[in-house]
Structure 1
């Protein structure tokens, strides 16, 4: 209990130190706005100077130099400082909270270096950075400043009051103890309030920075465009690979058996008149080969869209897919009704691919596949429609890595194509939990 209590207060002190850093950085974050204010002040004075009789007239050359400085130099400096503020805050979110998001490239970027430079200095992203740095600076100055003042000033006041009490007692004037005693009580109370407010202020600051830095509309659009480009290329590659697999399976299996079947029927036809018994045996052999060809064709088409899924839904198709796995699979399906055919197809594909990946890479001894209908809550707090949630859990080696060829990119692309989400929790040595949330009416 004492260790937990001490750990909590250590966390509080770290949060206060973080807010002290935020307070110091807030002054830097406000520099771009101050620079623009100076530029606007010069513009105002330049426009009003001709109508003020006491203001001396400037020479045109000096006026042009000032115009370049205040109309171009100061705004460019403000946007550069704002971009630096964004970089500093991204590094803080990375090193302190582990919040990392790569800066998405602009798919529509121009190759002209002059246009790129002008857009970098005075484009929409540059002014968005100025707005961000200003908002972040005001928040740090007010919110973080309030906590720092409460904690630091409260603690300093209590220490100073204790020294004052000692001084009063040495001087032998007990009547002067009222003020220091009040400060001894009020100082720690203020510090305690500041420590209690620290987690809330840190949380609001992180939320603000994430919204402004990572969730800006233009950032989301660019990220979406880049993601669509990448996923489109991966899906084209996956479709080409699947086409080659089907072509190879048909060529090596069904096509050869169909050729053998045709030759057997030709032999039977040539012996119908001369040797009916042998012809009957050949026809029987042809029937057996035709059944084998049908089985092979079913194997080829099994990964495309099984008939049991179309006729009876996901609840009947998942046990069939589980029965083909080399590892024992438990299937839990709780679906009061069938989702859309597209949602069922995506869920079935994810389940089959996940079972294949587990059999190849995980070394698991037990797998659980669960499907259920869950409500979806939108980002704005309202209902966003229901989801078909498919969860595949195994007790294997864990450590699933998309870069190691485990097929996760293909699953992500398939789920994302219907605006679903795929999450993978795979700590090394602790198994893997794959969760696909697919819109019910995809």
Structure 2
């Protein structure tokens, strides 16, 4: 199964898989809580380190605006008379062309770095729309690339990300790093005071020993909220304008529709091939066996009985093969008994040990059950083909997202301990999964770091 997709939108299919649409579930991705907190702290410290770089584009634009302000008033001053035209043209070129162009390029680089960071750490990616400049000439495209609306939007985002990095990273630095360092230093101070014998000086170190860890704990508790605000900022500012989102959505619908048509045609050919090569041939053999038995009923009753027995055996094999063909369509157990009974059946056919954990008091809509069952079966097939896993866990639960029960989600997750690090372009079937989940307005999440297994999560509307 695949790890994720990156930016591509209309430029290729790789951008069509929205890996994570919600806030980061760091604990699920990185295991124990302490490890997740460490990842969050390191992420915020990195944001603090990058904050100054993120603020450079805005600073350059402030410098350009300041020069414009001086240029408006400078000609009225006596000392401005001695300035040559060449120097003025050079200033205009530097402050009104070079500085804004460099600021736009740096802002684009800052947004690219931020996308890659959120993608690598939390699996949060964004699909890009079709290139609106594809029909323009090179000069127009270069101008829009440097001075278009997208560039100014990225300057705004890089500035907001820089300010957020300074605030969030500063909080983590003061509370977690400084608090922990102060507590450790205070311990050495206590040892020094005890050696010196000045017990009156223990108040300060003892206070730091108590306050330092408390500050570090408060900072660790705040890291999840600070990361969540950063992700929210990313989603609000770095994602495109509403009309671009609509265009991107239309591209998704068009491409997913084409892929679903291709998938339906491939499934039809598979069924036709299975019926022709399997059941049809066996039915032909069954017909020939019954014809031979009929011709020998009078002349050789014993041989006719043997042929009838053979025909019964072939008929059972035909039935088994037809069940295998129909099993991939919609199993009867899913219709009659629901997802809780169908998932163990699907797990029993997997070549690796599968643990099934279903916590569903009620049944979702039949469409939601069908999508979840399809995702589970395809995910188990991917595990068998690509993951080289030794164990798999399939879990299904109902997740409440608001006070309205109709807004609940059916969350299906498939976790394996395989090699991970797969690619949607490698033919692992994730585009088909995404198409099926997206068709009911669900969200498919895949976390697959190399060497650490894969976690696939499908959030499907309960009343899909």
Could you tell me the TM-score, scaled by structure 2's length? 0.60
Quote the Cα distance in structure 2 between the aligned partners of 1:362 and 1:144.
Answer: 37
- Stretch of structure 1 that moved more, 221-230 or 129-138: 221-230
Displacement, 1:254? 1.1
Q: Secondary structure at the match of 1:218?
A: coil
What are the ranges of 5 or more consecutive residues in structure 1 without an aligned counterpart?
Answer: 1-10, 153-183
User: Per-residue CA shift, 1:215-265, capped at 9, x if unaligned?
Assistant: 434178276566656655654554444333222211111111222233345
Quote the Cα distance in structure 2 between the aligned partners of 1:16 and 1:386.
Answer: 32
Q: CA RMSD in A?
A: 5.7
Counterpart mapping for 1:46-61 below 5 A? none
Quote the Cα distance in structure 2 between the aligned partners of 1:331 and 1:101.
Answer: 27
Displacement, 1:323? 3.2
Per the alignment, residue 244 of structure 1 pairs with 269
Per the alignment, residue 396 of structure 2 pairs with 371
- Stretch of structure 1 that moved more, 355-364 or 126-135: 355-364
Per the alignment, residue 167 of structure 1 pairs with none
Quote the Cα distance in structure 1 between the aligned partners of 2:72 and 2:376.
Answer: 66
Per the alignment, residue 142 of structure 2 pairs with 117
Q: Indicate how the Cα distance of structure 1 residues 438 and 76 shifts in structure 2: closer, same or farther if over 3 A, else same.
A: farther
Per the alignment, residue 164 of structure 1 pairs with none
Q: Note if 1:29 corresponds to 2:64.
A: no
Per the alignment, residue 10 of structure 2 pairs with none
Quote the Cα distance in structure 2 between the aligned partners of 1:344 and 1:97.
Answer: 30
Structure with more relative contact order (C-alpha pairs < 8 Å, separation 6 or more): 2
Q: Secondary structure at the match of 2:401?
A: strand
Q: Note if 1:399 corresponds to 2:420.
A: yes
Displacement, 1:421? 3.3
Quote the Cα distance in structure 1 between the aligned partners of 2:58 and 2:448.
Answer: 42
Task: From the CA coordinates, give the structure whose radius of gyration is larger.
Answer: 1
User: Per-residue CA shift, 1:6-42, capped at 9, x if unaligned?
Assistant: xxxxx9x999986885675476333354266358759
Counterpart mapping for 1:343-354 below 5 A? 343-354=368-379
The answer to whether the 8 A contact 1:39-1:74 is kept is no
Q: Secondary structure at the match of 1:390?
A: strand
Displacement, 1:392? 3.4
Q: Note if 1:333 corresponds to 2:358.
A: yes
Per the alignment, residue 107 of structure 1 pairs with 130
Q: Secondary structure at the match of 2:407?
A: strand
Per the alignment, residue 156 of structure 1 pairs with none
Count of matched residue positions in the alignment of Structure 1 and Structure 2: 386
Per the alignment, residue 407 of structure 2 pairs with 385
- Stretch of structure 1 that moved more, 303-312 or 215-224: 215-224
Q: Note if 1:253 corresponds to 2:278.
A: yes
User: Which residue, out of 397, 403, 417, partners 2:439?
Assistant: 417
Per the alignment, residue 301 of structure 1 pairs with 326
The answer to whether the 8 A contact 2:353-2:390 is kept is yes
What are the ranges of 5 or more consecutive residues in structure 2 without an aligned counterpart?
Answer: 1-38, 179-203
The answer to whether the 8 A contact 2:278-2:321 is kept is yes
The answer to whether the 8 A contact 1:308-1:316 is kept is yes
Counterpart mapping for 1:24-423 below 5 A? 24-25=52-53, 28-34=56-62, 37=65, 41=69, 74=96, 77-78=99-100, 80-88=102-110, 90-91=112-113, 98=120, 104-111=127-134, 112=136, 113-135=138-160, 210-211=231-232, 215=236, 216-218=238-240, 221=245, 231=256, 235-267=260-292, 275=299, 277=301, 281=305, 285-361=310-386, 366-376=391-401, 385-394=407-416, 396-399=417-420, 401-402=422-423, 406-423=428-445
